[in-house]
Amino acid sequence: MRLVMLGAPGSGKGTQGARLAERLQVPHIASGDLLRAQVRDRTELGRLIAGCLDSGKLVPDEQVLDLVLPVVLAAAAGAGGYVLDGFPRSVAQAVKAESVLAESDAGVERVIFLAVPEPVLVERLLERAGAAGRSDDTPEVIGDRLRVFQAETRPLIDHYRARGLLLEVAADRPAEEITQAIVTIL
């Protein structure tokens, strides 16, 4: 199965993505994790993108696509699928990825939209900010990340709905319940 997890920051893409990948026995590919690893490893790319990550801005498409697409293609070829989390994050990214993936029969089959009311997102992200860790989990950056989601990522919902790929799941409830709901609809 080739899946995309779609949702705002704090919607649980990472949690549900990992659970689904385990159940489906395919790799969980999180673009944010791949990008943060570049910063941690102090690569040239890492130096270029650290500012974007810290401020919650989108990393330029070319850099994201170069980093993520080879991993996606390898998963599709080697493991027969993937659970993508955090990519694509804009219609432009989806369109660019579609043409590359289609050539290898590695295109997206289903998109899971994790629907969570905005006040719950803010609450979850602030909680995570309190626990410290990520440089973008701060009260100042959280608002910007939610705005980037509304402006850049939200249009993907209609993009995938129009293609008949979208499955919407209420994601303001316990994690296990959400996983069950997704497995059932899949």
Q: How far is the CB of 37 from ligand ATP (least distance, A)?
A: 11
- Locate 8 and state its tokens: 């705002």
Binding mask 22-41 for ligand ATP (x = CB under 6 A): ---------xx--x------
Name the closest residue to Mg ion (Cβ).
Answer: 14
Q: How far is the CB of 86 from Mg ion (least distance, A)?
A: 6
Write the single-letter amino acid at 172: D
Q: Are 152 and 93 in contact (CB under 8 A)?
A: no
Q: How far apart are CA 99 and CA 119, in angstroms?
A: 36
Q: How far is the CB of 121 from ligand ATP (least distance, A)?
A: 9
Q: Are 70 and 76 in contact (CB under 8 A)?
A: no
Binding mask 4-43 for Mg ion (x = CB under 5 A): ----------x-----------------------------
- Locate 50 and state its tokens: 């650290």
- Locate 13 and state its tokens: 């893409």
Q: How far apart are CA 164 and CA 145, in angstroms?
A: 27
Site for ligand ATP in 118-177 (CB under 6 A): 136, 145
Q: Binding residues for ligand ATP, per CB under 6 A?
A: 9-11, 13-14, 31-32, 35, 52-53, 56-59, 64, 86-89, 93, 136, 145
